Amino acid sequence: MQSDEAYVSIEELSAGYTKPDVILGASLRVGKGEGALIAGPSGSGKTTLFLAMTGVLSHLLEGKVEGKASIGGLDPLKLEDYELLPSKIGIVLQDPEKQIAMPTPIDELTFILENFGYSREEAEKRAADALESVGLQSKANFHVENLSGGEKRRLTIAASTVHDPPILLMDEPTASIDPWGIAEIRGLIRSSLDKGMAVLLIEHKPVFFKDLFERIYILRGGKLDKFEEKDEKSIRDVDFSVKECGEEKGKDIGSGKRVIEARDLAVGYGRAILRAEELEMKEGEIVAIVGPNGSGKTTILKTIAGFIGPIEGEIVGERRRFYVPQFPDMLFIKRTVEEELRDQKMDPRARGSLKDLFPWYSSLKSSNPFRLSHGQRRWLSILIALGYDPSVLLLDEPSSGLDLILYNKLVDLLKRVKNSGKSVMISTHDPRLIGDLADRVYYIKDGRMAEKGKSEACSELYEVAGVVR
């Protein structure tokens, strides 16, 4: 046992689900006021590493772990120490849906604090302060199902720190979160380090955080290796560099045939949360909808998809639309990847090529979709949508959870979709997608959506996140 409570170390840690073959002999040490950033491609085992070092893999998931681990003076691989671990750490999981247990944000945080022994009165006060710190004070009593994906992420960040743990573990905290939220996460990491906390961050997009950490690791092929800045340009599967924002495109995009058109549109649930004087998308065009979490991006996609009706105005155009939600698990209805990609309800012509577009098909075709990594599940959900051969593809945060290799494959795939004459509408916080793909950008501010230049929108998102270009 380590004497220093705010301390994390693993030594020659190997781990896996049936045998220790996912993580191979990983070692790292993080002391008080120190941090480590762990990057790596999708499916490389980054989440498995967290599950192993915290004891979750061996005690809850019946996985196999060998080696040593110490967190806050406890050995989480021993059951008696594992049960004491929650008071020492705050954890932000990759998928907020799997972390939130209570019906409202205030209930979620109060529940956590009462379990740590706080009185009801003190728990409610601390919970309210924590919600204010992440911008959710106005939605303290909203049902969590009415929060956006980014707002759920903010809630999990508040939940991970509300009890003032000495150690913070964060697994892809930027998934589905906007650049304003990324700036807040940067501030949280900086303040946590200043307070003497130990911080471990897993992140697909280290470009947003690399300046905050002295120690950066790459997990690849089961091996955890230190990142050297001199190797940055040679790395092809992790995003360390700021992308160019691209050139503005002219107005004559696509064939000229409008597949989506709306005027004086208002959308929301019972009351208008977003208004757009005009919205249009042409055949063979990629349109990006950009704005802060909770601004109505998902709501307008669901309205275009036909799941909810507009409060004002009307949407006309091509009816063969397919909506892919922020959380890919919502599309899975089969027991294996193979069954998902061979669903008989799909268009026969489109279905035939899907398995060739799934990079891991030969090794994972018999796997349950829910056991895939987040990036793999994201990729699968997009392929399922293409299997139904829609004319209009509506993608909600499609790059969330994708490593650089998969991101580049996504860009190539959507260019092929566009070149086939289909239209794609994307809600995104990712400036890379705007620069690489967007023909047209609609930007949401103060409840109104209007067209904006792609280069300007892309540059603004990097600037807001705190990234120097």
pLDDT level of residue 184 (50, 70, 90 thresholds): confident
- Pairing mode of beta strands 440-445, 286-290: parallel
pLDDT at 232: 66
CB 439 within 8 A of CB 462: no
pLDDT at 227: 86
pLDDT of 81 > 60? The answer is yes
Span of 201-210, 243-252, 320-329 with lowest mean pLDDT = 243-252
pLDDT level of residue 247 (50, 70, 90 thresholds): low
Buried residues in 407-439 as b, exposed as e (16+ CB within 10 A): bbebeebbeebbeeebbbbbbbbbbbbbbbbbb
pLDDT at 4: 47
**Of residues 339 and 150, more confidently modeled:** 339
CA-to-CA separations, 162 to 153, 159, 195, 198, 315, in angstroms, rounded? 14, 5, 15, 16, 43
Query: Which of 142-151, 167-176, 352-361, 380-389 is the most confident on average?
Result: 380-389
Kindly give, in sequence order, each residue whose CB lies less than 8 Å from that of residue 327, ignoring residues fewer than 6 positions away. 95, 97, 149
pLDDT at 95: 81
pLDDT at 237: 73
Q: What percent of the chain has pLDDT over 90?
A: 66
CB 253 within 8 A of CB 390: no
pLDDT at 2: 39
| d(C-alpha 169, C-alpha 192), whole Å | 11
Half-sphere exposure of 159 (CA within 13 A, CB side): 29
Average pLDDT over the chain, rounded to an integer: 90
pLDDT digits (tens, 9 = 90+) for 14-54: 999 988 889 999 999 999 999 999 998 877 899 999 999 99
Range 333-344 average pLDDT: 93
Range 317-327 average pLDDT: 90
Ordered by where they begin, the domains of the chain are 8-234 (3.40.50.300), 258-465 (3.40.50.300)
Other C-beta atoms closer than 10 Å to the C-beta of 258 total 16
Buried residues in 290-301 as b, exposed as e (16+ CB within 10 A): bbbbbbbbbbbb
pLDDT digits (tens, 9 = 90+) for 200-237: 999 888 888 999 998 999 998 899 999 877 666 667 77
Q: What percent of the chain has pLDDT over 70?
A: 95
pLDDT at 394: 97
pLDDT of 153 > 60? The answer is yes
Range 127-136 average pLDDT: 93
Span of 37-46, 119-128, 293-302 with lowest mean pLDDT = 37-46
Sign, CA dihedral 97-100-102-104, equals negative
| d(C-alpha 345, C-alpha 364), whole Å | 22
Give the position of tokens 């002295």. 214
| d(C-alpha 46, C-alpha 48), whole Å | 5
pLDDT at 234: 60
pLDDT of 248 > 80? The answer is no
State the pTM of this model.
Answer: 0.77
| d(C-alpha 278, C-alpha 450), whole Å | 8
pLDDT of 410 > 60? The answer is yes
pLDDT at 233: 62
pLDDT at 469: 60
pLDDT of 385 > 70? The answer is yes
CB 393 within 8 A of CB 418: no
pLDDT level of residue 374 (50, 70, 90 thresholds): confident
| d(C-alpha 383, C-alpha 389), whole Å | 10
pLDDT level of residue 245 (50, 70, 90 thresholds): confident
Give the position of tokens 């939940």. 159
CA angle 140, 143, 145 (to 5 degrees): 125
